[in-house]
């Protein structure tokens, strides 16, 4: 079984849909692909929930986070969460060798964090095209 550590930037409608897909298809991923996706951190505009033990955020907690976000909650306000204003720092704390950073935000402000992830040799997946449209030389 191959475990893939994931850091998710953005828990809006696209990010929540991705989390639902991951949680809902765990058995398929394991049986068909020998794959376990471990979400190590999820972020929203100003907050983050991070798994500090490296085992990942539990499916039950992920589903609770989705329900909380659908009620317009902020991760910064959760006891299990915390305020964040530096996505690169979240990636630094949560990332592990072989990590995949997934950007499901709708902002170009993730560009520095994505470049940091690439510097750490993590894989980067974008559902958001905005970071690709800015001048990256000054970052």
Give the pLDDT score at 137: 65
User: Which CATH number is associated with domain 2-130?
Assistant: 3.40.50.720
CA distance 48 to 91: 11
Q: Which residues of 51-71 are buried (b: 16+ CB within 10 A; e: fewer)?
A: beeeebbeeeebeebbebbee
Give the pLDDT score at 90: 96
CA distance 62 to 94: 16
Summary count for the chain: helices (H), strands (E): 5, 6
Does the pLDDT value for residue 131 go beyond 80?
Answer: no
Question: pLDDT tens, 1-46?
Answer: 999 999 999 999 999 999 999 999 999 999 999 999 999 999 999 9
pTM score above 0.85:
yes
Question: pLDDT tens, 68-80?
Answer: 999 999 999 999 8
Does the pLDDT value for residue 128 go beyond 90?
Answer: no
């Amino acid at each position: 079984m191959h475990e893939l550590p994931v850091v998710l930037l953005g828990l809006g409608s696209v990010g929540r849909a991705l989390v639902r897909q991951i949680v809902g298809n765990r058995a398929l991923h394991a049986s068909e692909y020998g794959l376990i996706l471990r979400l190590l951190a999820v972020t929203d505009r100003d907050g983050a929930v991070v798994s500090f033990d490296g085992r990942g955020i539990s499916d039950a907690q992920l589903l609770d986070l989705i329900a909380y976000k659908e009620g317009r909650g902020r991760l910064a306000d959760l006891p299990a969460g915390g305020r964040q204003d530096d996505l690169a720092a979240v990636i630094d704390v949560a990332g592990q060798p072989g990590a995949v950073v997934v950007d499901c935000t709708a902002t170009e402000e993730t560009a520095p964090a994505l470049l940091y992830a690439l510097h750490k040799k993590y894989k980067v997946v974008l559902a958001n095209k905005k970071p690709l449209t800015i001048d990256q030389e000054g970052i």
